[in-house]
Structure 1
Amino acid sequence: MAGVAILSGAGWAARDAIAGRLADEGFDLAVLGPSPDACAAAVDRARRSGRRAISLAVRASEADSVQQAVDYVDEHLGPPAVLLNVVDALLSGPLCEVADWDGYVGGPLRETFLISRAVLDPMIREGYGRIVTVANVLGAAGRRENATVRAGLEGFTRTLALEADAFGVTANLVVAGLGVRAPAAAEILPPAPGSPAPGGRATADAELAATVAFLAGDAATIVSGQVIHVAVADGTA
């Protein structure tokens, strides 16, 4: 079941690949960002696939701004069937002041809560919805993951999945970055001849997009409340 997908969050290059994959799967897109320019690449990629795509400037930490954007999408593009929310869970310095906590921890979690809450009404009305949060925890030089944000996103996703299940809405979290995979069978069983060394395989943006596309599709009806780890190629993805 294709329909309308809302893409929100950090202006991360992999988001454009995900936008293209969702467009190829038949979704029309509404891309939310701090400015139309920040959304241009994702919108252009979707339109090249022949889908409708719009960009909306949103103040992600303000409830009224977020709700107005979702209402506009619902009225002018159609009810959102999918929400993809990208969260930058990186931190460049220690948390030592209240302002640091509010910005590095409270900010991403508040924005995730606001956009998820805003899409729930139309999804419940339609009896169908997919909420996919992507936590970008790439190990860029000089930066480290904010584990508090990641843990908060995991807890929020599982709670949302439990509460939304009765309405046909699923919620899942994709953790994308370097060295963030859960232990795999390849790390326990002997590797097959010619296979890469454990921990050495890096997936491309296209594979991350394929993971999101699966979670956004009909095949993932019973997949909810899950945390899926995807290793990407490098810190510039």
Structure 2
Amino acid sequence: MTDPSPRARNRRITVVADVPDPVTTDPAPPPPPEEPAESAPPPRRRVNWGRVWWGLGAVLVAGLLAASWFALPIRTVKVEGNGRLSEAQVRQLAGLTPGFAWPYYGAWRAQKLARSPWIRSAVVTRRFPDTVEVRVTERVPFARWQRPDGRVVTLAEDGRVLPGAAGVGALPLLSGWGPGRVKDALFVARALQRYNVQSVAYTPSGITAHTASGTVWSGDLNNLLKYAGAVVQYPSKEIHIYPWGVSVQE
């Protein structure tokens, strides 16, 4: 059959939409940095008044100590009991230098007194405000000792060597050989003082004491002391004392 109204043949029409060309755009700028919020003021630190007062106190004390050094010097020194040592020597041993501050003087300054062979004891007294008194007890030369090397030194009664002693030529002379028996010799010289001991000699076998009256020997100290009076009974004789008795020799 023929369509009386002819129509155009159907055709598939593809409509393509116009696509605009891509437009290049600049990237968006970064957001501005945020302004920091206004910070709160730091907390106020508390003042440690205890430390402040301690510091001020320390400064004050240091100032007072420094002032006392100059305000209270030692002005007067009294020395007593010295005979062999001069006053100047005792002052030096006691550490009493001119201008030293009185508040700071103490035993630590007087240590040389105890180390001196001439001083047996010492007492140091401070008296306010500027005086120091030093009372010493000196050792006294008691005997001479001929050492193994031949040198003669002066001894005190306790055996301490006294350097620089003068005028001791009349003191008993101690000497000997073998094992050291200086203490025994000093003991005999001290025990027989009333017989005017002139010398004491020691050997490994015994001790001989020469007196103004005579000579006495013994191998035992106790027997020697017990029968030492025989030197008076037999003047100018040589007496040997044994455990069994006394032997008198011409």
Structure 2 length-normalised TM: 0.22
Q: Which structure features the higher share of helix residues? A: 1
Structure 1 length-normalised TM: 0.23
